[in-house]
Structure 1
Amino acid sequence: MRDPKTPLDTDNTDQRLFDKRGVMENLAAASRSTFAGIRFVLTDMDETLTYKGRMSARTYDALERLQGAGIHVIPVTAAPAGWCDQMARMWPVDGVIGENGGLFFRRDGEHGLARRYWHGDADRENVHDRLLEIADQVRARVPSAQWADDQAFRLTTIAFARSADADANGAIVAALRAAGARTTINNLWILGWLGDYDKLAMTRRVMAENYGIDIETGRDVILYCGELDQ
């Protein structure tokens, strides 16, 4: 994760949160008016809501208090559909954007779940089959490539475990791209997917379709917590 003492490019951020060096201040130091208009909190999950893979009771309580105050909280993550299903059903959140933008799950009633995917119903099976073909190609080109241990719970992405060998990771990324997949590497996985989307694109769609919010013109009502990757 980024060192909080390292200056950020703050051209598109609220200058009230930064000191004269461009270093982010402690949020507790901000005046109440800074966040008075916030209606949505979009947040990364791994090492943002969690620390070393675990979520604390204090963090869960904060999510519940935000929900109780009428703030819509939406995790935006590369985590697999299986994890997102559980989060959307049981966490005090409004919904979850998962698999790097491939899906949006939202609680529907007491026990149901509304599922929205980037690809339409007519395309999803073909996309899934093509991703499995690409995975076979990657593993043929990079014999050391290993599935991520959560691959069984994924619907719209393929994920490989990160290696300590940077060259091996680079070879997996190159093989994914050569097969036509989009890619990203985060602190847990090397991801591949098909489609012209990412976390930001799905966030735009979810906010517009579910809340009538354009994230470019409505940025004063949205707070994002997490790293700046997509």
Structure 2
Amino acid sequence: MTTARRDFLQQFALGSLSATLLPMTAQAAWAERAVAASTGTEAAPQYDVTWTRRLTGKYKAVYDSPDIGGGLGVLRAGIVSAQYMSAFNVPASALSPVIVLRHDGIVLAMQQDFWDRYKVGEKHHVTHPWTGAPLTRSPALLGAGDGLPAGLEAHALDKQLARGVIVLACALAFQSVIDTIATADALSPDAAATKARSMMLPGIIMQPSGVFATSVAQDHGCVYVRAT
């Protein structure tokens, strides 16, 4: 069984097994809240799904990025969009790409100061997508002069967000970001969550899970692309 499949099955189990049988991890707590909400004993977390109204282009795709992958999942979304525009001679308005950052790829949703403060590059052994050299910067935020082939800096995550590309983040995976901050800065869970949200790139939309986000995108006509 692959690691990815094993992780999925473990996450699924958290939603069905009793808390008396499992340690109270963050994911188990989230699953319990979801069950409570479904039975009316607790209010369900509210998530913005109005991004689906922006899927107006003829060509729709959701780029599933569960790994850091040198930031290539993010870059591919921009590269493929440019290829569509060139091949079919269509404007950007004909395209509706969606990028989903989940699992280990959640750290790509964070600003560079998060990467610097918490040594993300070193911790995850991140490498440059083209040179393979060790990288301390977020590979999704590389710019001109950072060793990318000419023009690819236009597909950095902040640039795509500025162009209106839909970028979704997994709330389950985001718990690992909160835990990192809580441990390093000796903060309470609530304080760490507030700080984590402040360090996320502006414009990214949190979703209940990355699998939920990719499923909803497909429900609204997006083809699925495993980007990393």
TM-score (norm 1): 0.28
Q: Which structure's residues are more often strand, by fraction?
A: 1
TM-score (norm 2): 0.28
Asked which structure has the greater RCO (Cα within 8 Å, sep 6+), the reply is 2
